[in-house]
Amino acid sequence: MLDRWHAVALLALAGVALIGTLNVLTGDTSAGWQAFYAFPVLWAAFHLRPRAVALVTGAALASDLVTLVHLLPLAAALNDFTFFGAVLAVNALLLARPNRAQERLVDALQRQVTVDSLTGLATRRAFDDALQTALTVPVPDGTALVLIDVDPFKSINDNHGHPVGDDVLVHLAAVLRDNVRADDAVLSRLGGDELAVLLPGCDRDTASRRGAELLDAVLAQPMALADGTLLSLSISVGVAHVQEYGSDRRAVYIAADAALYEAKRAGRGRVALAPA
């Protein structure tokens, strides 16, 4: 909440204004008084992004320059400002740079937790969080959980090699993206060759139809191999309607998984809907 209101930056700028005002009122231009400008600048360098640090540091330098010019002869004011301004700017830079590097590292780690490195889809952890939200915050018509398995993925790996198996997953991820609205749905690789889609705003009939549309899209788009030949792909699809299971996330997965295996037992390349 404080970040949304820019409270940290405003607090630092208020500190700069207070220090400048006190310097003028007391007529003190000593290094000790100027050193107080370091507090809001260091505060900003520890807590804010580079642009905000530059803003606070610039405000501190401007306030110091105005105060010195107001209280000292111009030559003396510029001499003091040059020395103290350089110290202030260098300290802000030295603190802001490692903070920015740490921020990039945290972003990279967070991406590893939420984005599958192979397909670019959401990870199981991120998908679980989205499913839990769907269970606790229902939407009109409910939400559908769609589980997808490649038919048969082991044969693809055995006949073409694991790199081709990886290519298949990347290809299927692209097909899903092309056929699912990414603005509200969540697409995930749960592990191995199991993919999942969370479709908000879907009743049972719509969910079953969307599963069939995904199956048709995969069947219609074979994957080109390195030698130019086309590898036909098929998937089995299990669908469960989330709101029928209260807040029990495990029960939703069990129902969708049972539907998925029902589709496989019925001959693969099919869509099965978990019973109400």
pLDDT digits (tens, 9 = 90+) for 223-234: 999 888 999 999
Mean pLDDT of 82-96: 83
**Confidence band, pLDDT 50/70/90 cuts, at residue 52:** confident
Counting residues of the chain whose pLDDT is more than 70, the rounded percentage is 91
Residue 174: the pLDDT is 92
Mean pLDDT of 67-86: 89
Residue 117 has pLDDT above 90, yes or no: no
Question: Where in the sequence of the chain do the CATH 3.30.70.270 domains occur?
Answer: 124-273
Residue 217 has pLDDT above 90, yes or no: yes
Catalytic residues, by residue number, are 193
**Confidence band, pLDDT 50/70/90 cuts, at residue 111:** low
The correct CATH number of 124-273 out of 3.40.190.10, 3.40.50.620, 3.40.50.300, 3.30.70.270 is 3.30.70.270
Q: Could you report the per-residue pLDDT of 31-50, keeping only the tens digit for each?
A: 888 889 989 988 888 778 88
Residue 105: the pLDDT is 56
**What is the distance between the alpha carbons of residues 266 and 272, in angstroms, rounded to a whole number?**
9
**Confidence band, pLDDT 50/70/90 cuts, at residue 53:** confident
